[in-house]
Amino acid sequence: GDSVTQMEGPVTLSEEAFLTINCTYTATGYPSLFWYVQYPGEGLQLLLKATKADDKGSNKGFEATYRKETTSFHLEKGSVQVSDSAVYFCALRARYKLIFGSGTRLLVRP
């Protein structure tokens, strides 16, 4: 069945470091791909999305490129801030259903 695999956390970085959170997926067809973020005490928020191969989603300095050949959608940011500390979820939309990875906690130290 359809699934999403994310790198395990926590990922701990110093402020201004480069961030990569790996995400790979298994799906039939051509799903849409998403990154959601969950800040402490808050609900999930859509961070970015891509709907077809080679699309790049971007928002708030974060980017991810839909790579069909490697079935990946890795999240990157060039310079993280303390305020980026949160849990990040990769997800795919197969037909009408969102399927989430297990989440990766990011801790950014000043």
- Check: CB of residue 64 under 8 Å from CB of residue 47: no
- The contact set with another protein (CB under 8 A) reads 4, 32, 34, 36, 41-46, 49, 51, 89, 91, 93, 96-98, 100-103
71 Ramachandran zone, left/alpha/beta (phi>0; psi -120 to 50)? left
Minimum gap (Å) between residue 103 Cβ and another protein? 6
Shortest approach of another protein to residue 74 CB, angstroms?
17
Of the pair 29, 110, the CB lying nearest another protein is at: 29
98 and 44 Cβ atoms separated by less than 8 Å: no
